Chain A
């Protein structure tokens, strides 16, 4: 074996080892890398009193402004489970019903009290006319479900989530 060949094999082996080590580490830290929990995951996950992030879709027709003018109540859903959220403060531009949202806060008495609400946007980009045309043709899909739905459903599955978490598309 020539010197060059040996170096090439060594390099290949080293990269293979490195890749395997990284894959193992990331798998081990799977739960810590997750940015938010879905309502379904919360059914099985013990979160207690600590702060965490809740992610899902803002349920259609659930947004309600309270009379004090700064508090908003809405429900976050992943189509299988739903959680009530209360938030006092300014909402981001993209916050709307049917859109993805990530809220940080904690549970108190079954209601998720958010300190911060972030809007999630999806991977679909189109001009308004196209979205109108799609709506009229009846093929329009609600924004965001692809990511939030499918993934949270998949994530919830190994933790004995009820089989109700089905993918819509």
Chain B
């Protein structure tokens, strides 16, 4: 893992990965959207409304996946002081917040016709809303300090504290009575979703994942370039003062 923490090596690797992940996003998104909208059957209970699932569920998975990755990066940043780990968490935060927002909005749009309500304060919905606030809080905190290093440290601590919310979200539907139904895909005894619906769902999840990889690489490269410019400026200004 330490091998990839070197920014120069990361830049080389990312140049290689970026076109592939961007290409995979386009292909998987086209195939996934076609399958979800035309190539899959309506649900026996919910009819065509079930198609909201193909956006809602991958967005929900990504919101947890991105957060878990950010928390792992935060741990690496705090323990091993890797600059790239700090930058990764910073670069991934807005993407994760975006996924969470998509999950909340599509969930609301799905709940209105099916449950009969846009929003309820049950354990699942509330814990996902907290996840969204964690993302926003992290972004606000990192930028709230004059010294960026202190901001990153505070942000990393917040990310690690917030990790307790991740298992709560995942298991909220099993631990408590909730309006939200239990998991259909990742559960004991195999998925309780027909394969004609599972395949489009997994294709869409693949599209979301490669989208995340492509965008996080772009954002990380921007952050690294930004750091370089700052260091250069700093050294030029320093030279001017001493010389």
Contacts and interface: CB of A to CB of B under 8 A. Distances in A.
Tell whether A pairs with B.
yes
B116 A120 contact: no
Interface residues of B, number: 42
B113 A11 contact: no
Interface of A: 4, 7-8, 11, 14-15, 18-19, 22, 26, 30, 33-36, 38, 55, 91-95, 99, 102, 116-131, 143, 146-147, 151-152, 155
Contact of B194 (A30, A121, A125): A125
A11 B181 CA distance: 35
Contacts of A124: 184, 192-193
15 contacts: A30-B176, A33-B176, A34-B176, A35-B177, A36-B179, A94-B115, A99-B45, A119-B116, A121-B45, A122-B182, A123-B193, A127-B197, A128-B41, A129-B41, A147-B182
A145 to B, nearest CB: 12
Contacts of A55: 177
Given A33-B123, A118-B116, A125-B43, A155 B177 contact: yes
Contacts of A146: 182
Q: Which of B45, B80, B113 has the most CB of A within 10 A?
A: B45
Nearest to A128: B44
Interface stretch (B24-32, B58-66, B158-166, B202-210): B158-166
A18 B163 CA distance: 10
Contact of A22 (B41, B53, B164): B164
Contact of A94 (B114, B120, B193, B197): B114
Given A35-B177, A35-B179, A123-B182, A130 B44 contact: yes
